[in-house]
Amino acid sequence: MAVLTGKKAPLFSAPAVINGGEIVDSFSLEQYLGNKYVVFYFYPADFTFVCPTEILAFQKKMAEFEKRNVAVVGCSTDSQFSHWKWLTTPVNQGGIEGVKYPLVADQAKTIAENFDVLAGAYEYDESGELQFNGTPMAYRGLFLIDKEGTVQHQVVNNMPLGRSIDETLRMIDALQFFEENGEVCPADWKKGDDALTPTQEGISSYLSKH
């Protein structure tokens, strides 16, 4: 599994569904450069079981992301048409109607591959034919990208394991606190807690109080 933290997020242009039902042919994270932070996350597949709990949970916390100037973008290896169908299906019928942030279609699996969250790979068989070995879906990867396009945090869960939206918000708060104050955030830090100066004296002072 590649570690992208500290590196520029891979670039892409792909179809997506935005605003809960509008299909666009070319969507890119580049539109946010210099303007917004981005939480870019992958999920395995549309019309599944754990995935809608996460997708809807992100939407429910959208006001929290917006006040932190963060764009949320989801992605799976399904088509834009599958995304559209799921987004326009009521929740009580197994859909995710009401989700307004973009869902990117990665049918070619290249985005998931470039972020190294694809559960499998293309390989040539003994006959020289290209085949996909593994599961042609993405693990639950999440990447926090700063305004300069650099990945500042990543986490990857296996498919059965749902993520914590609150932990994602905590990491955003930590990143923005560091950027604004120059102090670093210790274990289990949350907004409003003491941070520490990255010196031996700062660490000693913090530990003496905690």
Positions marked active-site: 51
3-state SS record for the chain: CCCCCCCECCCCCEEEEECCCEEEEEECHHHHCCCCEEEEEECCCCCCCHHHHHHHHHHHCHHHHHHCCEEEEEEECCCHHHHHHHHCCCHHHCCCCCCCCCEEECCCCHHHHHCCCEEEEEEECCCCCEEEEEEEEECEEEEEECCCCEEEEEEEECCCCCCCHHHHHHHHHHHHHHHHHCCECCCCCCCCCCCECCCHHHHHHHHHHC
